[in-house]
């Protein structure tokens, strides 16, 4: 199985992804446009997160954005509904070889 490992800048939060991204998603919602994440959406079962981040729950309370309390990197988001089958990981935490040549999909989150 393909595995990719990434981390925040200081290494306190580590992400192990068992999935192969085929595109990166950029979203223009109020938080994504500020943090400039490049997202890969996948089932939570495909990701192992090590380390404790700080969660930020925004407006509609649908999801929590996680960042490192030491270096500040936004690493991933999780849905607040435990039955929701997707989470997002920020591909910028990974080696650019994994994502730099992938097509970008623009998500119009601002209009949701």
Four-residue CA torsion sign, 79, 46, 8, 20: negative
Binding mask 11-30 for Zn ion (x = CB under 5 A): -x------------------
Residue ranges of E strands in the chain? 4-7, 14-17, 24-27, 39-42, 47-50, 54-57, 63-67, 74-79, 87-90, 104-107
Among 17, 32, 42, 68, binds Zn ion (CB under 5 A): 68
Determine, following the binding rule CB under 5 A, whether residue 8 of this chain makes contact with Zn ion: yes
Determine, following the binding rule CB under 5 A, whether residue 71 of this chain makes contact with Zn ion: yes
Scanning the structure block, which residue is given the tokens 């729950």?
Answer: 57
Would you say 30 or 52 has its CB closer to Zn ion?
Answer: 52
Determine, following the binding rule CB under 5 A, whether residue 49 of this chain makes contact with Zn ion: no
Query: How many residues of this chain bind Zn ion (CB under 5 A)?
Result: 6
Applying CB under 5 A, the residues found at the interface with Zn ion are 8, 10, 12, 68, 70-71
């Amino acid at each position: 199985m393909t595995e990719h490992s990434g981390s925040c800048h200081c290494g306190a939060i580590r992400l192990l992804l068992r999935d192969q991204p085929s595109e990166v998603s950029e979203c223009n919602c109020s938080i994504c446009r500020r943090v400039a994440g490049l997202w890969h959406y996948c089932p939570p079962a495909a990701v192992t997160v090590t380390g404790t981040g700080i969660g930020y729950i925004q407006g509609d309370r649908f999801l929590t954005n996680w960042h490192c309390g030491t270096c500040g990197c936004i690493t991933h988001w999780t849905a607040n509904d435990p039955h929701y089958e997707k989470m997002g990981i920020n591909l910028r935490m990974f080696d650019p070889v994994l994502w730099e040549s992938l097509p970008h999909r623009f998500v119009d989150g601002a209009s949701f």
